[in-house]
Amino acid sequence: MQAAKFSRIGFILSAAGAAVGLGNIWKFPYITGEYGGGAFVMVYLVTILFIGVSLLIAEMLIGKKGGEDAVTSFETLAPSAKWAWAKAGFLFSIGLIIMTFYSVVIGWIFYYLYVSVTGLPTTLEEATATFDVLYGQSPYLQIGLHFISVVLVALVLLRGIKSGIERFNIILVPLLIMILLGLMVYAMQFESFSKSVAFMFVPDFSKLSGEAIIRAVGHSFFTLSIGIGAIMAYSAALPKHTNIFVAGLWVAFLDTFIAILAGIVIFAFLFQFGGEPAKGPGLVFMSLPVIFAKLGTIGTVIALIFFLGMAFAGLTSAISLVEPSVMYLERRWGWQKKSAVFGSSFLYFVVGVLVILSISDGFKEPLTFGTKSLFDVLEFAVDSFLMPLGGILIALFVGYAMKRDDVEAVLLGHMGNTVFKVWYFSIRFVAPLAVLFLAYNALYL
Ligand code: PFF
């Protein structure tokens, strides 16, 4: 039953593939735009460095040492602890909740593959119109595209994740970096380039609202894929002698690098063509197509490659989002793989349809809560509560439920004594407190 092991580079790129997804290219730029740039990015970077990486390593530790689905690993690693509430399925369900909107956005990317071929919009107004038609007025098209995404993810899951994910990521993560670097070189000719860099890196703390801090901290969890057992599931297939610390740093580095690169490119083009940074979820889908259109024929080819790369980045993350649930149903409930994949997929497909209706004219009213659509509500809940809760559970588990000796036995050789002490302190005190602060504050927004 145990999955085959990753190669070391295969693991790093696969975990990076899980981490690098729509969060980096779609969400990070638009929330950076929404919350004012530099100061927001700074909170994000600090959180990744001081909390995110610690939790990432903790989650990898549970996966590697436990070697099983999340619940079984928890039981094996701390047999006397009572984690019934965790078993109730938070690790099993958060990924599916994320997929209810993640898969919808993957569907949008499919649509933009089609737009790339049939004619890219050449002005920001045209691009906005193209996106608005998709976003607000085409529920059936969106449901169809969402369905295609669900089926693709299910097919890969059915075939087993190792060969699919490892192979996809070894090709696609470097390809994505090359595409973004290429775009950055192009964008460097613009006057707006320095403005974009300044927007991303020069903090204006007057723009840093409480909500911005919470979004930044929440997104640092989301982007690193912490707290839902996905990295844990992959880490169960780590080769024996992999240095978890080094692998974790690589994953965090690649993830951050790609997000920053995407942000700089997108804002450079956006400023150059007179767009506003605060464009919400449509930012990438409105600004990028115009950029590509300006490049002429090559632009069409790049657009295709870019959206294809983005689709695969999304899909490889998506696979890692559903896998914990599939693994759990198979190993704990004894379901056949087919049933586990079908059951999980069906669940998030149906709720995904509601998510689409919640943003569609004519359907949205019953699915709107206050000013927020179901889409917004789910996204906010994931960022601000569910993933932080997962993070805190992992921190408390490694920091308190597991024996220090057992933790040391794995990690001391990987990170040395001093770093271990700092990491252990972070896991026991800093991470849980920061996460509590996050969840507490989110309640009052
Ligand atoms: N990290 C992914 C992204 O930034 O798009 C999203 C994600 C994937 C979150 C897998 C959680 C996860 F387990």
pLDDT at 92: 67
Beta bridge partners of 372: 369
Q: Domain 8-442 is of which CATH architecture?
A: Orthogonal Bundle (1.10)
Beta bridge partners of 369: 372
Q: Which numbered atom of ligand 1 lies nearest the CA of 229?
A: 13
pTM of the full structure? 0.89
Query: Mutation test of ligand 1: which of 225, 256, 348 has the most ligand atoms closer than 8 Å to its C-beta?
Result: 225
How many residues are there in the chain?
445
pLDDT at 91: 62
Beta bridge partners of 368: 373
Distance CA 423, CA 57 (A): 9
Alpha-helix runs per DSSP H in 241-336? 244-272, 283-294, 296-333
Query: Mutation test of ligand 1: which of 32, 172, 251, 320 has the most ligand atoms closer than 8 Å to its C-beta?
Result: 320
Q: Which residues have CB under 6 Å of ligand 1?
A: 18-19, 21-24, 95, 98, 222-223, 225, 228, 230, 317, 320-321
pLDDT at 46: 92
Tens digit of pLDDT at every position of the chain (445 positions): 455 688 888 899 889 999 999 999 888 988 898 888 999 999 999 999 988 999 999 999 999 998 888 888 888 888 776 665 666 556 668 899 999 999 999 999 999 999 999 999 988 789 889 998 998 889 999 999 999 999 999 988 887 656 666 877 788 788 888 888 988 998 898 888 999 999 999 998 888 888 888 888 888 888 999 988 899 988 988 888 889 999 999 999 999 999 999 999 888 878 887 666 666 777 778 877 887 788 788 789 878 877 887 887 898 899 999 989 998 898 888 999 899 999 999 999 999 999 999 999 888 888 888 889 999 899 888 877 888 888 888 999 999 989 999 999 989 988 989 999 999 999 999 999 988 887 777 676 6
* Closest to 179 measured CA to CA, from 292, 15, 283, 31: 292
Separation of CA 150 from chain center: 17
Per-residue buried b or exposed e for 50-81, using 16+ beta carbons within 10 Å of the residue's own CB = ebbbbbbbbbbbbbbbbbbbbbbbbeebbeee
Cβ atoms 311, 113 nearer than 8 A: yes
Residue with tokens 């190993």: 331
